[in-house]
Structure 1
Amino acid sequence: MKDGLAHQRVWQLPSYVRRVPTGGEKGKFLAVDLGGSNCRICLVNLHGDSTFTTIQSKHSVPPGVMVNPSSRPLFDFIGHRIADFLATQPDLCSSRGLRNSNQQPYQLGFTFSFTCEQTSLASGRLIHWDKGWDIPEAIGRDPCQMLQDAIDCLRLPVVVTVLANDGVGTLLTRSYTSGPTASTLAAIIFGTGTNAAYVEKLSNVRRVSGETKPDGIMVMNTEWGCFDDQMEVLPRTSFDDELDRASADSGTQMMEKRVSGLYLGELLRLIILDLLRGNAFTMTCSNASRAFQRDGIDSSFLSELAKAGRDHAERAIQLIEDTLSAENVSEADAQAIQLIATAIARRAARLAGASLASIIIQSGRLEMSPDGAPEPEYSMHRIQRFTSDMALLWRRLLRLAGIGSPIGKPPVPIQPLKSKWDNIIDIGADGSLIEFYPSFETEMRGAMRDVPEVGPAGEQRVRISMAKDGSGVGAALMAQAASEVET
């Protein structure tokens, strides 16, 4: 993290968001949320009281658009979905005069959940694809401009005003809904892919020249899915290597390939396939089984196995039979597959927990107040502790000199002082993995406790709250912020 703050890397990317919402923001804004295999078109109405309402349409991105030598099919697809959305919202158009070219068009925030190096709030450069996408022509180009070109070809009254990232958007949404007192530090995403964003001191972001405001902040897009692509510390198995070799982005996104929902099901499939070929199971699978199909097992299968538990063998057996088209599944087979699935998910959650711990440590929030200054109560406590220690030392010196203690009673022990904001470190979260896998957050927290700099006391201060579909609302919040800058 420190290396990425100081040098031009493909991680620790500045978002150019220099303030977080307070909950008082108002207005209607369009948003496009592109990530994984889905595209959502949203109209977000910010009410100004930490609440919002959305109207949205959700579309599956065709596989031929996700992997294509040309970028035009993708952005034409998004442009047509925007046009369809506007056509189904006549009140939306008439309320803003969108049928009249003399009226102001809607501002749109574009959440583009792939690695981009932003050059401003409204522009950036695509560095690489992940999550199974591969569109070579788009590399090095600005996603906002490509989307705007598609919108202009359709003569839509829409202007793309901000480029957002799913982690950054979720952080802004959580900050908006929690209000000004929560001081949200970060957002974490565990869906098809994984990522995190957090609030960093602007003075630490040395990779951005000219940004020297001492009390300023910068929301950072960590792109932690590519942390340790050199494989210096990440765990490694033959199944990890096999999955990586078969991926569209071999050699990159190594942490994501151990944590995100896109890959956990495939890891389980590769292990089951190895055991089937080694005749380790009683069960048999037909040639049409998902066990023999690449990406045939979804990560939701791991969640369902976990929910079945060890005490409901019949339920687990039925689930395996239905998912893998398997026959003669024994209780031992079911227990073995459950054990493997649990190990895969536990490793993912603990890697996620260790990574979140790194954000908390880097932020300094374990010893800092929400406004970035040393917490007064904490500083006073240290002064009181120092005074108490000096008094004890003085007593010992006098006793050694045979003079006796001038203090009639021992010093009052220092009691832990509670902060007025209760020391909460607020984290927003989104993604099906953390939402639906039963023990994902529990395992995350276990890893955080094992990090000495955080420990049990620090982990107890962390509040993780779901900010579902936060990336689209976050893009609207960024569009709102951009509109204020323009005015």
Structure 2
Amino acid sequence: MTVGDESYGNVPPAVAVEVEMIKNSFSVDKDTLRKITGHFASQLEKGLASYDSEIPMNVTWVTGYPNGKESGSYITVDMGGTNLRVCQVVLTEEPGGHNVAQEKFKLPDNVRGGSADELWGFIADSLDAFLRKYTVKRQSEKLPMAFTFSYPVTQNNIRHGILQRWTKGFDVSGVEGYDVIEQLEQVLQRKNLPVTIVALVNDTTGTLIAGAYKDPEIKIGCIFSTGCNAAYMEDVDSIPKISKSGLRPGTEIAINTEYGAFDNSHHVLPRTQFDHTVDKESTRPGQQTYEKMVAGHYVGELMRLMLVHLHKRAGMFSQSDCSKLNCNNAFDSKILAAIDEDNTESHTGIRDILKRFNIDPTPYELEVCAILAETICTRAARLYACGIAAICQKKRIQRCHVGVDGSMFSNYSKFRKRAAATLREILNWPDGSEDQILLCPAEDGSSIGAALIAALSLRSD
């Protein structure tokens, strides 16, 4: 955008200058992408060697891939973000066959920011409601259950996990530093629920296993939704921090990278004033730096902060009541994506969104909103590609599929295209050649993947 450019509806100079500054600060060129990716790969290596690294590289104790012959009935409970999902997964006798019954329970804000007793009590009550609704028989032998808990944990084995820190806006007291399996099991036993936890699963690991179950070319499982994370299989000989584990040399074991924490030391990521504000006002300032620049829980807030900035600094929306815009997190990722995806010439979709905030926008204000959304989402896609490229560089993967789960990916075509194009830039594929690393929509990591991991854990006993 330049001042007086007719294609932007004669944007007032003060607004045009500020928007141009925002666009420049959010631009990430090819050289910067490659610098970020190189540093990213080195941090992945450090995480495999040490327990106190920036990127945790958590060992999940999931060894190997399913063989397609897994069977049995499993309960899965997925605590990932906005909702709690409870499923009964039956892996049938035919290879790859399964049946799923599921129910979602919205996690109330008071639980997301309450006490450990409130959290585990809510999960147990939701599980109890599910078992009653689907008449799961209370038999003498308890059903095996996999608990998908998508937060950074340190695991000594697959049935254990000490929470390192909350992410995704959660701030439940009395859980950090404790074994989440032990805390949940105590409540389940007290309520006499007919399940026994056989595996603690991260959603990225579940996505990796479920994806590979359907597509053998999937070598990386990734979540791109509320948060951003990835998992892949690593040779145990390349993980110095578990050199005394006793695992057979050559064993492949799933690593939950927890790479949302990348660059918490602020060496390479190009943070802006808006990123600083998002971090400062988050529940965990100083943590999850990469995730806060990329993931769904934060990108909508970046948009809101920009609009507030333009209103106060340059007089944008001067004829409207912007009080609703002053509420933290008033813009979520769905709103941001909808603005970016509005391809109508008159931006009717953007107008309808702004009206929800009591804003009656002018044509130039609609155009500015479209530009800001594209700016934020383009940077998010380009930085997101750096994490995938870093794993491929570290593992020397030349060709593979990446299974990506999450609404921000599956429902957002522009993001997928931008991320794919950025991988080409970083990995320097020849012009006209086909993509070597394919980003593929993946689902059911927290249900099918978790059930498969439960089956694998019982098989390895």
* 2:49 aligned partner: 6
Check the 8 A contact 1:200/1:217 in 2, yes or no: yes
1:216 pairs with 2:225 = no
Residues 252-291 of structure 1 correspond to what in structure 2 (within 5 A)?
252-282=287-317, 284-289=319-324, 291=325
The aligned amino acid for 1:278 is R
* 2:9 aligned partner: none
Residues 344-359 of structure 1 correspond to what in structure 2 (within 5 A)?
344-359=376-391
* 2:270 aligned partner: 235
Measured at CA, do residues 195 and 315 of structure 1 come closer, stay the same or move farther in structure 2, by a change above 3 Å? same
The aligned amino acid for 1:213 is R
1:87 pairs with 2:158 = no
Separation in 2, partners of 1:298, 1:126: 27
- Cα offset, 1:456, TM superposition: 6.1
Q: Determine helix, strand or coil for the equivalent of 1:232.
A: coil
The aligned amino acid for 1:41 is V
Measured at CA, do residues 143 and 459 of structure 1 come closer, stay the same or move farther in structure 2, by a change above 3 Å? farther
Separation in 2, partners of 1:473, 1:322: 41
CA deviation digits over 1:408-463, x for unaligned, max 9?
Answer: xxxxxxxxxxxxxxxx5021111111112221121112221122466669971222
- Cα offset, 1:288, TM superposition: 4.5
* 1:429 aligned partner: 404
* 2:96 aligned partner: 50
Residue in structure 2 matching 1:226, options 243, 253, 261: 261
Q: Determine helix, strand or coil for the equivalent of 1:324.
A: coil
* 2:32 aligned partner: none
1:446 pairs with 2:383 = no
* 1:418 aligned partner: none
* 1:118 aligned partner: 155
Measured at CA, do residues 88 and 339 of structure 1 come closer, stay the same or move farther in structure 2, by a change above 3 Å? same
Check the 8 A contact 2:420/2:439 in 1, yes or no: no
Check the 8 A contact 1:317/1:331 in 2, yes or no: no
The aligned amino acid for 1:172 is I
TM-score normalised according to structure 1 size: 0.81
Q: Determine helix, strand or coil for the equivalent of 1:120.
A: coil
Separation in 1, partners of 2:48, 2:179: 22
The aligned amino acid for 2:81 is G
1:331 pairs with 2:374 = no
- Cα offset, 1:287, TM superposition: 5.0
1:150 pairs with 2:150 = no
User: Between the two proteins, what is the percent identity of the paired residues?
Assistant: 29
Measured at CA, do residues 266 and 238 of structure 1 come closer, stay the same or move farther in structure 2, by a change above 3 Å? same
Check the 8 A contact 2:73/2:89 in 1, yes or no: yes
Q: Determine helix, strand or coil for the equivalent of 1:107.
A: strand
Separation in 1, partners of 2:176, 2:353: 41
Q: Determine helix, strand or coil for the equivalent of 2:220.
A: strand
Separation in 2, partners of 1:207, 1:113: 22
Measured at CA, do residues 454 and 130 of structure 1 come closer, stay the same or move farther in structure 2, by a change above 3 Å? farther
- Cα offset, 1:292, TM superposition: 1.2
- Cα offset, 1:226, TM superposition: 0.2
Measured at CA, do residues 458 and 147 of structure 1 come closer, stay the same or move farther in structure 2, by a change above 3 Å? farther
Greater mean deviation of Cα atoms: 461-470 or 428-437: 461-470
Measured at CA, do residues 14 and 247 of structure 1 come closer, stay the same or move farther in structure 2, by a change above 3 Å? same
TM-score normalised according to structure 2 size: 0.86
CA deviation digits over 1:189-245, x for unaligned, max 9?
Answer: 111111100111221111113256332111100101001101100111111101111
Separation in 2, partners of 1:221, 1:455: 31
1:22 pairs with 2:67 = yes
Residues 48-447 of structure 1 correspond to what in structure 2 (within 5 A)?
48-68=94-114, 70-90=115-135, 92-93=136-137, 98=138, 100=139, 103-178=140-215, 182-211=216-245, 213-282=248-317, 284-289=319-324, 291-309=325-343, 311-327=344-360, 329-366=361-398, 424-447=399-422
Check the 8 A contact 1:184/1:427 in 2, yes or no: yes
Separation in 2, partners of 1:261, 1:464: 18
Check the 8 A contact 1:445/1:459 in 2, yes or no: no
The aligned amino acid for 1:20 is Y
Measured at CA, do residues 166 and 87 of structure 1 come closer, stay the same or move farther in structure 2, by a change above 3 Å? same
Separation in 1, partners of 2:244, 2:158: 16
Separation in 2, partners of 1:282, 1:273: 9
Q: Determine helix, strand or coil for the equivalent of 1:15.
A: strand
- Cα offset, 1:322, TM superposition: 3.0
Check the 8 A contact 1:168/1:197 in 2, yes or no: yes
Separation in 2, partners of 1:108, 1:183: 28
Separation in 2, partners of 1:285, 1:197: 46
Separation in 1, partners of 2:432, 2:237: 28
Check the 8 A contact 1:110/1:163 in 2, yes or no: yes
Separation in 1, partners of 2:260, 2:453: 23
Q: Determine helix, strand or coil for the equivalent of 2:155.
A: strand
Q: Which one has the largest radius of gyration?
A: 1
The aligned amino acid for 1:451 is I
Separation in 2, partners of 1:188, 1:457: 27
State how many pairs are aligned: 414
Give the alignment's Cα RMSD to 1 decimal: 1.8
Q: Determine helix, strand or coil for the equivalent of 1:17.
A: strand
Q: Determine helix, strand or coil for the equivalent of 1:5.
A: helix
Q: For structure 1, which runs of at least 5 residues remain unmatched after alignment?
A: 367-423
Check the 8 A contact 1:190/1:430 in 2, yes or no: yes
Separation in 2, partners of 1:148, 1:456: 55
Q: Determine helix, strand or coil for the equivalent of 1:296.
A: coil
